[in-house]
Amino acid sequence: MMLAATLVFLVIKPVTFFISGIYRITWRYVGIRDLFNLIKASFVAQLIIFILLLLNRMYDPQYLPVEFHTFIQYLKGFPRSVLGIDFVLSFVMLAGFRLSKRLYYEILVKTEYSDFVNKAIIVGAGNTGEMILRDMSKHRSLGIVPVAFVDDDIIKTGAYIHGVKVIGRISELKDAVITYGATAVIIAIPSLNFKDLRKIYDVARDTQVKTIKIVPRIYDFQRPNISMKSIEEISIEDLIGRQVIEVDFHEIRGFLENKVILVTGAGGSIGSELSKQICAFDPSLLVLFDIDETELHNLQLKLAYLFPCMENRLRFVVGDLRDEKRLEATLKAHPPHTVFHAAAYKHVPMMESNEGEAVKVNIFGTYSLARFAVKYEVEKFVLISTDKAVRPTSVMGATKRIAEYICMAFNDTGATRFVSVRFGNVLGSRGSVLPIFLEQLRRGGPLTVTHEEVTRFFMTVQEAVSLVIQAAVIGTGGDILVLDMGKPVKIIELAGELIKIHGFKPYEDIDIKIVGMRPGEKIFEETLTSREESNASRHKSIFIAKGDDKYDLRKIEEIIETFTSINLDAIEGDMVKQLLRRYVTHYTNL
């Protein structure tokens, strides 16, 4: 009986394990999912053997060849309890062998804390912190060893995660660093706002911590991949403008999943971030349109790294908004469900002396794209606008205000719903104040500010784009949606904070110099005109601007014809400014 049963087990179990992929498990990285698959394979094998034994009891072997009769007789009376015993012993031994290599490297092999090893405190004992800890354990060669967690969840205090203790709250970070002699702090809470992040950063700096890193934004929500290779240095943008933004991922997924999406200006700060966040929601096709082939190439490399699964669903189109044939060919070849129109000339002082170019891109480009969106039955058109379009004092702001007029006018002409989204300054975008300040710091100062009282609204590009996508979902036809950017920040205070973050003293080590207002600049920005009022939307950080300041499509066409009739290539753009004053309410050129 024992010999016959052994032959049955040796045939059925290896075949079942092979089909289930048990022999393809990598021992060094075996995990819970692998152990669960091992349980399933063992159970299936035992079930097959049990059924065979049951059939052996029920049926007469006289119909089988004579050679099998003796073999089958040996199996008569085989004790079924052996199946249970075999299941347990097989699982323990198979799992033990497969876990042995991981146990050896991650537990039995002790890493001595030498002078060249960074002892790390992990801030945040949640799922992200646990992923970071597991990756540290696998890659000891990186020279960072976890020694403790800190977390504000009192329930976790005193608990151990993979052998590392949660020693207290985040406010006890300073004591933890001193007690353990930590030289690195890893911040594993992606949702921290800039105030809490700044407190952690200041404590770490005060205790002479050499390495301060943070987990990056998670773009692929279905397959979050946090590892030591992905953590990054804390950026200045995070310390100054990072906010906790909550969006409805389920609603956004329904808006973007399996849809064709077009993003213009995809190589810019807003456009590239839009592209990354849209990829996370599995569009059927993402068309990326930009005039700058270098930035499109850079974006292609980033998306290939972040979203390898999107490789065959991305189209990179080099083109100019002013080229109507190229624009129409793009929409005809890939008719989109949604258009995010981020392409524009945005730099205020530069457009003050290049008025005609601002008209060509911000007005003519928007008009052409809107016209083709209606022609090719785009479901929703989202214009990325700016708070500088409110009571504009610059050519850039006035042309963007006309772009808003264009969207409102086209909204009444067909099935396409047009939505404009206004927001303020994005930290770290090209040409914004932060990169300018950082370059001035590298040169040893001074940091230049145009006026003592000048203020601006600030938000990091990631949070701003998250709200733009949420606003696109919320917005109905003809809406102008305004993002809540928080409280305005004085630029002179921002300069001072930036100097302190870099370990210098304002006015002593690095000076701050007032240089006077630039052409087209305002001391403070607004999000609503005097003729608009705001209504709450379904999202606490998004408001709907309501007002009667708009044109119909016939008037828009008249405006386009008027601008077309003048010489937009002239170096002196006085005629452009005159026309802008005629058509844009409240526009006063400073």
Positions marked catalytic: 388
Q: Give the residue among 97, 130, 105 at the shortest CA–CA distance from 224.
A: 130
Fill in the DSSP letter of residue 9.
H
Phi, psi values for residue 192, rounded to 5°: -65, 140
Can you state the angle between helices 249-256 and 461-474, rounded to 10 degrees?
70
Burial zone of 70 (CB within 10 Å; 0-12 exposed, 13-18 middle, 19+ buried): exposed
**Three-class HEC string of 271-321:** HHHHHHHHHCCCCCEEEEEECCHHHHHHHHHHHHHHCHHHHHHEEEEECCC
* Residues 6 or more apart in contact with residue 70 via CB below 8 angstroms: none
**Three-class HEC string of 312-345:** HHEEEEECCCCCHHHHHHHHHHCCCCEEEECCCC
A 10 A CB-CB count for 273 gives: 26
Cα→Cα distances 406→44, 67, 245, 417, 586, Å = 65, 89, 30, 12, 17
Whole-number Å distance between alpha carbons of 270 and 264: 10
DSSP secondary structure string for all residues of 370-439: HHHHHHTT-SEEEEE--GGGSS--SHHHHHHHHHHHHHHHHTTSSS-EEEEEE--EEET-TTSHHHHHHH
A 10 A CB-CB count for 449 gives: 22
Whole-number Å distance between alpha carbons of 234 and 170: 17
Fill in the DSSP letter of residue 510.
B
DSSP secondary structure string for all residues of 20-37: HTGGG--GGG--HHHHHH
DSSP secondary structure string for all residues of 468-509: HHHHHHH--TT-EEEE---S-EEHHHHHHHHHHHTT--BTTT
A 10 A CB-CB count for 346 gives: 26
Task: Locate 219 and state its tokens.
Answer: 């773009």
The distance between the two most distant Cα atoms of the chain, rounded to a whole number of Å, is 108
**Burial state string for 283-311 with b = 16 or more CB within 10 A and e = fewer than 16:** bebbbbbbbeeebbeebbeebeebbeebe
Whole-number Å distance between alpha carbons of 442 and 445: 7
Q: Contact 276/305 with Cβ under 8 angstroms?
A: no
